[in-house]
Amino acid sequence: MSEGYSGARHGPLYDMSGLGFTPGDLVVVTGAASGIGKACALGAAKSGLAVAVWDMDAPGAQTTVNEIASNGGTALAVTVDVFDEAQVVRAWDETLALGPCPLLVNNAGPRSVSQGPFAGHLLDAVGSMECVARTWLERCSDVASSMVNISSIAGNLQGSGKTVSAFYPTAKAGIAGLTRHQATRYDGKPRVNAVAPGITITPRIEPMLAMPEMQDMVSRVPVGRLGYPEDMAHAVLFLLSPAAAYINGVLLPVDGGVTQA
């Protein structure tokens, strides 16, 4: 194929309520206006959870909320830049007006190709996940049950030296370390795990799909396609759920086996 990747952009999104979620429990999903975060938000709502849709893109967050509401779910849009601690604190105030929050998906992060200061992007990527979790636990330690951080195969299972900026694999390896720290810090309340997506077809990746390098990557994935946001959402929701009650501190690659090939 010379014209670029021609696969579908989305996969099926399953109802995962059978994994033991308590209907109506609240989950915060950061970066939920688009891509993986949006799939997590839609999947969580489909599985019976109430969803706080956190994003700096206010209209995008509202679109996610409207989609959830049109399917009979409950959701609230919260406009927040998670790289800014004061905004994160305000976002928790707004969110917790809905009630206590036992579940968190820490997904938002800078683009892998972002240029500019290494240290600033590193702080944004890792520091924001630490900040969102820390300020959550300051308010909700009594109910906190499970959290999933979005890492990457980059930096943990592959080098990605030709395709992304230096801060990105450094940050994603840092998020794996942060996850292990959090998983052992709080005696499993909450359990904390990480998902490491392989290349996933989201708006930030779509402009690159026509590149020959992308075709080459597709050809190396054992299952024969790139990831869908929904593939990531299923893994996130499983780790978040009571069905994963004895899983704590893992980094789960969701990459079609590319890092094993």
Ligand X SMILES: NC(=O)c1ccc[n+]([C@@H]2O[C@H](COP(=O)([O-])OP(=O)(O)OC[C@H]3O[C@@H](n4cnc5c(N)ncnc54)[C@H](O)[C@@H]3O)[C@@H](O)[C@H]2O)c1
Catalytic site positions: 168
Other C-beta atoms lying within 10 Å of the C-beta of residue 168: 24
Decide whether 113 or 245 has the Cβ nearer to ligand X.
113
For residue 11, what is the enclosing H or E element? none
Would you say 18 or 116 has its CB closer to ligand X?
Answer: 116
Residue in 43, 60, 190, 256 binding ligand X, rule: CB under 6 A: 60
Segment contacting ligand X by CB under 6 A, of 34-42, 97-105, 159-167, 178-186: 34-42
Nearer to ligand X, 189 or 220 (CB): 220
Nearer to ligand X, 31 or 43 (CB): 31
- From residue 127, alpha-carbon distances to 35, 81, 150, 243, 250 in Å are 21, 12, 13, 29, 20
Q: Closest distance between ligand X and the C-beta of residue 226, in Å?
A: 8
> With respect to ligand X, which residue has the nearer C-beta, 9 or 188?
9
Give dist(CA 228, CA 13) in Å, integer: 10
Give the whole-angstrom CA distance, residue 253 versus residue 185: 23
Counting contacts by CB under 6 A, is residue 85 touching ligand X?
A: no
Minimum separation from the CB atom of position 187 to ligand X (A): 27
Using CB under 6 A, pick the residue from 9, 90, 204, 225 that binds ligand X.
204
Provide CB contacts within 8 A for 218, sequence distance 6+: 5, 7, 224, 225, 226
Q: Is residue 253 within 8 Å of 198, Cβ to Cβ?
A: yes
Answer yes or no whether residue 11 interacts with ligand X by CB under 6 A: no
Site mask for ligand X (CB under 6 A), range 123-162, x = bound: ---------------------------x-x----------
User: CA 250, CA 236: separation in Å to the nearest integer?
Assistant: 12
Positions in 86-125 near ligand X (CB under 6 A): 107-109
In the complex, least distance from residue 37 CB atom to ligand X, rounded to whole angstroms: 5
The interface region with ligand X, picked from 14-22, 51-59, 130-138, 216-224 by CB under 6 A, is 51-59
In the chain, where do the E strands start and end? 26-30, 50-55, 75-79, 103-106, 146-150, 191-197, 251-254
What six digits make up the tokens of 2? 């010379």
Contact status, residue 66 vs residue 137, Cβ threshold 8 Å: no
Enumerate binding residues for ligand X (CB under 6 A). Answer: 30-31, 33-37, 55-57, 60, 80-83, 107-109, 150, 152, 197, 199-200, 202-205
